[in-house]
């Protein structure tokens, strides 16, 4: 009698995640006919259909949905078993799948990669830039090892380690350089440019301005901080960006940067990983290195300091 194999589960999990044979086959580095054959074999073993095949995408049957959830749990547990051997090694080594959100990646990731590669030459870094929800899903499903995101993420299955705090700064046309900084109430009346939906920085900016997502749909949006700043330079409106982005994003735009009145908007950046990850001790070492990179990069451009969050005190034995 044929038995379900890890190959079956990995291929099926990819298909359940992508809901498309072509994309799932590409993710698994196999041909689409080979993937289809494996799925047919899995359905024959189970004696029931798992997939409803449509013209453009597939749907999972009730059994398929149940199997997808269990397959993710099994694959994550197997991957963590494979990490146990590395857990006994003092220095971090091997593959590290590290995610970073788009409002951090261009400004911090290059220095982080350089520092980690120098400090831990045995590391095989696999960075990925994505919005917070995709990174969290990747962590929970075992497709990512750690991620640098804005805290809190409030996921019970994840460890959160703060790295540093930084302010949000107002970017407006250079002609407004001498004007007083607006209050949140005044800012709501201005033409505010925002990142598109899915970015946590968008939600944080809306929260500071006490604006609802419904109102924000009528505002101008951009796919990156660079786009927002260039639009401000063209006189289209104003925007908020994190302090770490100022040196890069404002060097080629005719804009003025202003601190907002207290209480100033800010965010906490941190690292997160699964509580069940056997490499927790190594991830602590990696976090310490990233924190050092943040400290080294806190020379205050434009006079706006970053506040580095110290590592938490060890628990009492």
168-266 homologous superfamily:
Periplasmic binding protein-like II (3.40.190.10)
Residues β-bridged to residue 29:
none
Share of the chain above pLDDT 70, in %: 87
User: Residue 90 has what pLDDT?
Assistant: 67
CATH for the stretch 6-84: 1.10.10.10
Q: Which pLDDT band, with edges at 50, 70 and 90, does 110 fall under?
A: very high
User: Residue 274 has what pLDDT?
Assistant: 92
Kindly report, residue by residue over 133-168, the tens digit of the pLDDT. 999 999 988 889 999 999 999 899 999 999 999 999
CA dist list (Å): 223 to 195, 229, 230? 6, 11, 12
Dist CA 212 CA 235 (whole Å): 25
Location of structure tokens 């005719």: 254
Do the domains 91-164+267-308 and 168-266 sit in the same CATH topology, yes or no?
yes
Q: How is the chain split into domains, by residue range?
A: 6-84, 91-164+267-308, 168-266
What phi-psi label fits residue 262: left (phi over 0), alpha (psi between -120 and 50 degrees) or beta? Answer: beta
Dist CA 17 CA 99 (whole Å): 18
CATH of 91-164+267-308, one of 3.40.190.10, 3.30.470.20, 3.40.50.2300, 3.40.640.10: 3.40.190.10
Kindly report, residue by residue over 169-206, the tens digit of the pLDDT. 999 999 888 888 888 888 878 888 888 877 888 888 87
Kindly report, residue by residue over 199-251, the tens digit of the pLDDT. 888 888 878 777 766 554 456 788 899 999 999 999 988 999 999 999 999 98
Radius of gyration of the chain (CA): 23
Kindly report, residue by residue over 58-99, the tens digit of the pLDDT. 889 999 999 998 988 888 888 777 666 665 666 788 889 999
Kindly report, residue by residue over 249-299, the tens digit of the pLDDT. 998 889 999 998 888 888 999 999 999 888 888 999 999 999 999 887 654
């Amino acid at each position: 009698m044929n038995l379900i194999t890890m190959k079956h589960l990995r291929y099926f999990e990819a298909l359940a995640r992508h809901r498309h044979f072509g994309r799932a086959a590409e993710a698994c580095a196999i041909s689409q006919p080979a993937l289809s054959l494996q799925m047919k074999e899995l359905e024959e073993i189970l004696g029931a259909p798992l997939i409803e095949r449509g013209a453009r995408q597939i749907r999972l049957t009730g059994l398929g949905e149940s199997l997808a959830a269990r397959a993710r749990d099994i694959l994550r547990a197997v991957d963590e078993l494979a990490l146990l051997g590395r857990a006994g090694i003092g220095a971090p080594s091997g593959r590290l799948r590290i995610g970073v959100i788009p409002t951090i990646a261009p400004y911090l990731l290059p220095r982080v990669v350089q520092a980690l590669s120098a400090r831990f030459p045995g590391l095989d870094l696999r960075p990925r830039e994505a919005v917070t929800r995709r990174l969290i899903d990747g962590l929970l499903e075992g497709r990512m090892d750690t991620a640098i995101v804005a805290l809190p993420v409030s996921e019970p299955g994840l460890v959160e380690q703060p790295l540093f705090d930084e302010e949000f700064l107002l970017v407006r046309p250079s002609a407004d350089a001498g004007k007083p900084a607006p209050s949140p109430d005044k800012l709501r009346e201005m033409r505010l440019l925002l990142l598109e939906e899915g970015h946590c920085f968008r939600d944080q900016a809306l929260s500071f301005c006490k604006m609802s997502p419904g109102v924000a749909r009528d505002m101008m949006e951009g796919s990156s901080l660079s786009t927002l700043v260039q639009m401000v330079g063209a006189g289209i409106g104003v925007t908020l960006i994190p302090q770490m982005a100022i040196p890069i994003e404002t060097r080629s735009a005719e804009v003025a940067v202003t601190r907002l009145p207290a209480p100033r908007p800010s965010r906490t950046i941190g690292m997160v990983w699964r509580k069940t990850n056997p490499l927790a001790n190594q991830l602590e070492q990696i976090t310490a290195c990233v924190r050092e990179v943040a400290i080294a990069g806190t020379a205050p451009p434009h006079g706006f300091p970053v506040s580095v969050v110290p590592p938490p005190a060890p628990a009492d034995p």
